[in-house]
């Protein structure tokens, strides 16, 4: 595979085009992997689109919880569309090259959307906290204006930080290799290709990850500790079961997303390997968005009822 380099004044070769190795080591499975990931992409697009349509047109789903769920489903479509089309193209054409600008753009969109997911999951936890712990004030606190502001804030609050982080990473010179041993332009494999000492940049990545991921995650934990405490105090078993059912889907998604992402970004550098990085990245970039529609629909009576009404009409 050809790649381009340019000569700097220091006579150091600097890469200006990368090669995404992806799953190139599985030479006999390229067609099979293309089919599998195309099928997954179709499931993600159709499943999340169906949830958006149901929430948009079913009167029973005109509640803050489902407003945030519609935002989350749209986010998942955008999130996987940053990664999967490029990966599918690479598997189909076997041309794995990607320009420096295209790589930076993919990373920037990925980081911004990942930040949005962190904050939106925290907002959804806040919604459940108010609904269960302060039900009498719920209509007043989670009114339409507040819901829109929280959703818009989730989309834009991480943008300047993640754009700045992308600019900072791609201001480095890349001279170790042009081959990214990953299926998309993620931070850890990109930093491995940088010339010289990258310890300062790694510290910045950790700090940003703490701001973007750890703080929302701690907020989610605090919310759910209060939620669980309140649920356990409910007098009837049916009341406790109903309250748990409204939270379990969201909590499962939080564990899947934050669990795999935390292991990827916060484990020691010495423990990183290309194979484990790819496997963990598959979880929070592809597997979780694929299961989200099923998690939210199969564990939610309102969504199931809306689905039945839709199919009965048809």
pLDDT < 50 stretches in the chain: 1-13
pLDDT (0 to 100) of residue 176: 62
DSSP state of 220: H
Residue 264, class by beta-carbon neighbours within 10 Å (0-12 exposed, 13-18 middle, 19+ buried)?
Answer: buried
CA distance 126 to 226: 11
DSSP state of 183: S
**Which runs of consecutive H residues, i.e. helices, occur in 137-268?**
138-141, 144-156, 159-169, 187-191, 199-209, 215-232, 237-266
3-state secondary structure 94-153: CCCEEEHHHHHHHHHHHHHHHHHHHHHHHHHHHHHHHHHHCHHHHHHHCCHHHHHHHHHH
Domains of the chain by start residue, with CATH: 14-313 (1.20.1070.10)
- Contacts by 2-8, CB closer than 8 A, 24 or more apart: 2/97, 3/97, 3/178, 3/179, 4/178, 5/178, 8/173
């Amino acid at each position: 595979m050809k790649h381009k380099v340019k000569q700097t004044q220091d006579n150091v070769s600097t890469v200006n085009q990368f090669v995404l190795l992806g799953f190139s080591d599985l030479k006999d499975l390229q067609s099979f992997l293309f089919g599998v990931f195309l099928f997954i992409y179709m499931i993600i697009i159709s499943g999340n689109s169906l949830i958006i349509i149901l929430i948009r047109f079913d009167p029973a789903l005109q509640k803050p919880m489902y407003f945030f769920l519609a935002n989350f489903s749209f986010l998942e479509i955008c999130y996987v569309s940053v990664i999967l089309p490029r990966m599918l193209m690479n598997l189909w054409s076997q041309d794995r090259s990607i320009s420096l600008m295209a790589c930076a753009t993919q990373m920037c969109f990925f980081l911004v959307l990942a930040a949005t997911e962190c904050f939106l999951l925290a907002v959804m936890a806040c919604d459940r906290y108010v609904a269960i712990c302060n039900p009498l004030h719920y209509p007043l606190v989670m009114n339409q204006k507040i819901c829109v502001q929280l959703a818009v804030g989730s989309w834009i609050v991480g943008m300047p930080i993640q754009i700045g982080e992308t600019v900072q990473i791609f201001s480095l010179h890349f001279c170790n290799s042009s081959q990214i041993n990953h299926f998309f332009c993620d931070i850890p494999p990109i930093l491995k290709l940088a010339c010289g000492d990258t310890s300062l940049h790694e510290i910045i990545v950790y700090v940003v990850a703490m701001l973007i991921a750890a703080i929302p995650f701690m907020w989610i934990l605090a919310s759910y500790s209060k939620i669980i405490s309140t649920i356990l105090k409910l007098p009837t078993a049916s009341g406790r079961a109903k309250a748990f059912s409204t939270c379990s889907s969201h909590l499962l998604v939080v564990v899947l997303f934050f669990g795999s992402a935390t292991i990827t970004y916060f484990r020691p550098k010495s423990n990183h390997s290309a194979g484990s990085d790819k496997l963990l990245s598959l979880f929070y970039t592809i597997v979780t968005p694929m299961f989200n529609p099923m998690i939210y629909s199969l564990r939610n009576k309102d969504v199931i009822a809306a689905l039945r009404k839709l199919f009965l009409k048809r």
